Structure 1
Amino acid sequence: MDSRYMRMELTKNKMILVRGGGDLATGVIHKLHQCGYHVLILECDRPSAIRRHVAFCEAVYDGTSAVEGVVCKHITENNILAQCERCWEEGEIPLLTDTEGKHIHELAPAAVVDAILAKKNLGTDRTMAPLTVGLGPGFTAGEDVDYVIETMRGHNLGRIIREGSALPNTGVPGVIAGIGKERVIHSPVAGVMKNISHIADIVKKDQVIAMIGETPVKAAISGVIRGLIRDGYPVFQGMKIADIDPRAEQKKNCFTISDKARCIAGGVLEVLLSQGIRP
């Protein structure tokens, strides 16, 4: 057997495929990459990440995305494994646009991690890989996936669930410096975003940070803009479009993976190691 072919077959057997490249998914991907795993990201063709400076999915738009010193590169559907291998050899993470996961079975990964965080299962099932993991609500351990990781802030964040499901989505953001739902901004109308402010800008309450058509989007509180959807993104009414951290002194956090993402990543890593899947 050709040595290149043998190497690519070995690559397939050790691949960890992660569906989704948003900020929480990026925390998981970054951790696995740093531990030596070969990770491939599958993303949709129009990601809507808010915390864009810490989301590998931005590579869909820009070709590459860098988070805490790790580069993610957008690859094409031609010779996927060969492109993945080149990325891994360069210390990079490949990302493929594949909303439906149509390439999963042919890629034959060692594990599939659904990190879309859609609050529901968008098509992941246990036949996709020898090991399947779902993050957050929408999955049932032992049914559609093998394991579920709790994503709700609190005592059980990052806990591995072997039977049953994660806590249901409350729709209420986690509290930061005593402020919860007020720190997250939702679109008042449908339309196209025109950003006035940028991530890491310090803003005052009621300051206009963006426009959607003729409708202004105002900061609900004073603080630092931790997340803001891409300029030019078409949004629907009620869509989450921005996140403000009331702790203006924490500006540096806009550029680093969150504690929540790192905790969830630890749960995923524990599952892989406990099931004998090592780098």
Structure 2
Amino acid sequence: MQNLVVLIKGAGEMASAVAHRLYRCGFQIIMTELEKPSMVRRKVSFGNCIFEGSWQVEGVESKRVRNLKEIQEALAKRKIPVVTDEKCEISQILNPDIIIDAILAKKNTGTDIKGAQVVIGLGPGFEAGKDVHAVIETMRGHDLGRVILKGAAQKNTGIPGPIQGITDDRVLRAPRAGVAKNILDIGSIVKQGDIVGSVAGLPVFAKIDGVLRGLIHDGLIATEGQKIGDIDPRGQIDYCNTISDKGRTISGGVLEAILFLLNDANT
């Protein structure tokens, strides 16, 4: 596995869950991200190194890099390099063995099945056998994490997965477009009606009691209706710092797909 290079597009929560599992299995991991990523669950996102310089998720460290030399240096130190590269142009230089599109954009933003020996897409927007070799189901429910070798994942419903039966009310959204300002931090205990922050001067209120599990980085520009935070009604602060059940399930599906496709290519 140490000879196999995996390029992961995106470095948010689910991409990081995948990166963490594959790193522990011995793969060489390289990730790409936007210059100003708006991931909500920043404490479990390797992409938070874009803001912090370096970041750890469950004992694995990522490092922001800017060129091929810095990528190689980070890999040599067993760190996960994260490069700002919106169009994933670095893939033309790296020639990775495996490409995983984990942007979760609900559409294909340019991933090509010919880009690597194994190409995998997470969630809707990809067709296995056409855009990618395999699709991983990301919809919560019976099929979460399933490896799809022909066809597509379930369509996005626009409704967040339930936690203790709560769906939309656990998600914080921008009331209008503008600069997001945080009043509270990830891990804060909130009550219904508490002000978590503001967007363009308008307050953002908690709709439920719980723990503020995720929040976009202070000072980013949000669009109206954009998800900018997440409240976990279970009230467990340590969940803010650990990979979720959904992330672990999806990452398991990715590992299964990689091993299946590599084995299938060698038989």
Using the size of structure 1 for normalisation, the TM-score is 0.91
Task: Tell me which residue corresponds to 1:251.
Answer: 237
Gaps of 5+ in 2: none
Amino acid aligned to 1:196: I
Amino acid aligned to 1:220: K
Task: Tell me which residue corresponds to 2:61.
Answer: 71
Amino acid aligned to 1:205: Q
- 1:271 matched to 2:261: no
Shift of 1:181: 1.1
Structure 2: distance between partners of 1:149 and 1:214: 39
Given candidates 104, 112, 129, the residue that maps to 1:142 is 129
C-alpha contact (below 8 Å) 2:180/2:221 kept by paired residues? yes
Residue 28 of structure 1: SS of its match in structure 2?
Answer: helix
Amino acid aligned to 1:129: A
Shift of 1:213: 2.9
Shift of 1:85: 3.1
Structure 2: distance between partners of 1:59 and 1:102: 20
Task: Tell me which residue corresponds to 1:15.
Answer: 5
Structure 1: distance between partners of 2:213 and 2:43: 9
Structure 1: distance between partners of 2:9 and 2:86: 9
Amino acid aligned to 1:48: S
Task: Tell me which residue corresponds to 1:92.
Answer: 79
Provide the identity percentage. Answer: 46
Structure 2: distance between partners of 1:49 and 1:139: 21
Task: Tell me which residue corresponds to 1:6.
Answer: none
Amino acid aligned to 1:253: Y
Structure 2: distance between partners of 1:102 and 1:33: 22
C-alpha contact (below 8 Å) 2:54/2:62 kept by paired residues? yes
Given candidates 213, 234, 252, the residue that maps to 1:226 is 213
Using the size of structure 2 for normalisation, the TM-score is 0.95
Give the RMSD, CA atoms, in angstroms: 1.4
Higher-Rg structure is 1
- 1:26 matched to 2:16: yes
Residue 194 of structure 1: SS of its match in structure 2?
Answer: strand
Structure 1: distance between partners of 2:255 and 2:184: 36
Structure 2: distance between partners of 1:213 and 1:274: 48
C-alpha contact (below 8 Å) 2:118/2:262 kept by paired residues? no
Given candidates 21, 43, 48, the residue that maps to 2:38 is 48
Q: Please give the per-residue CA displacement for 1:16-74, whole angstroms capped at 9, x wherever unaligned.
A: 10000000110000000011100100111111000010001111122111111111011
Structure 1: distance between partners of 2:183 and 2:70: 37
Gaps of 5+ in 1: 1-9
